[in-house]
Amino acid sequence: MLLYEKLPLFVFEIEACENLKYVPMCVRFNLDFYGYTFSLAEWQALPLDAREMLAGFPAAADGKETGFVSELQRLVQQYLNKTPEKFTPDPASPWHRVSAIPDSILTQFSLVELAPMTPDVWSGLSLLKRYVLTKLSARGVKNHCFVPALLEFGLVRSKIPD
């Protein structure tokens, strides 16, 4: 079974997350949501089955603990012999605010030469989708995954005829 068939990966990240070398968005979301810092080096130090286990947890958008935190703590202790670093999540993070599209996302629309989404569209997106678009636009440079994410989320249409 292929990774994307058993894990909640976005289509735009399948190639980048092959063999889970990079941290998938669902894991990044859960880390930020629950307030844990986890470096790429730490992620890559975990065996593949441990990375698959963490990537298999659903996004915790409803605020209910899904078991992700206890599993993260167990795996980090078991394989890295340490406790994962905790921080206090910011409830005012850009992806939490539904009233205004973050400037970084508006900049990304400009960089890819697309008209920006409307505030109504932004506010109608799930917390996870707002998180993903915010993360993809955070650096202020054109992100090659931004347009594929927009396509996947149904926010733009391909020019290929139906």
The number of folded domains in the chain is 2
Amino acid at 59: A
- Rg (alpha carbons) of the chain, rounded to whole number: 16
Are 74 and 98 contained in the same domain? no
| pLDDT per position as a tens digit, 86-116 | 999 998 999 999 999 999 999 999 999 999 9
Are 76 and 134 contained in the same domain? no
Q: Which stretch of 3-12, 28-37, 66-75 has the lowest confidence by average pLDDT?
A: 3-12
Are 20 and 82 contained in the same domain? yes
**Given this model, what pLDDT does residue 102 score?**
96
| pLDDT per position as a tens digit, 48-93 | 999 999 998 888 766 667 789 999 999 999 999 999 999 999 989 9
Are 70 and 96 contained in the same domain? no
Residue 153, pLDDT > 60, answer yes
Mean pLDDT of 2-30: 79
Are 78 and 94 contained in the same domain? no
CA distance 117 to 98: 13
Are 77 and 108 contained in the same domain? no
The pTM of the full predicted model, rounded to 2 decimals, is 0.88
| Full residue range of the structural domain in which residue 21 is found | 3-86
Are 58 and 131 contained in the same domain? no
**Given this model, what pLDDT does residue 124 score?**
95
Are 111 and 149 contained in the same domain? yes
Domain boundary among 69, 86, 103: 86
CA distance 112 to 58: 30
Domain boundary among 86, 118, 137: 86
Residue 157, pLDDT > 80, answer no
**What are the tokens at 134?**
């915010």
**What are the tokens at 37?**
């810092």
Are 121 and 160 contained in the same domain? yes
**What are the tokens at 157?**
């249409």
Amino acid at 128: L
Are 23 and 41 contained in the same domain? yes
Residue 85's SS3 state is strand
Are 106 and 160 contained in the same domain? yes
Domain boundary among 86, 105, 129: 86
Are 80 and 9 contained in the same domain? yes
Handedness of CA 3, 60, 65, 21 (dihedral sign): positive
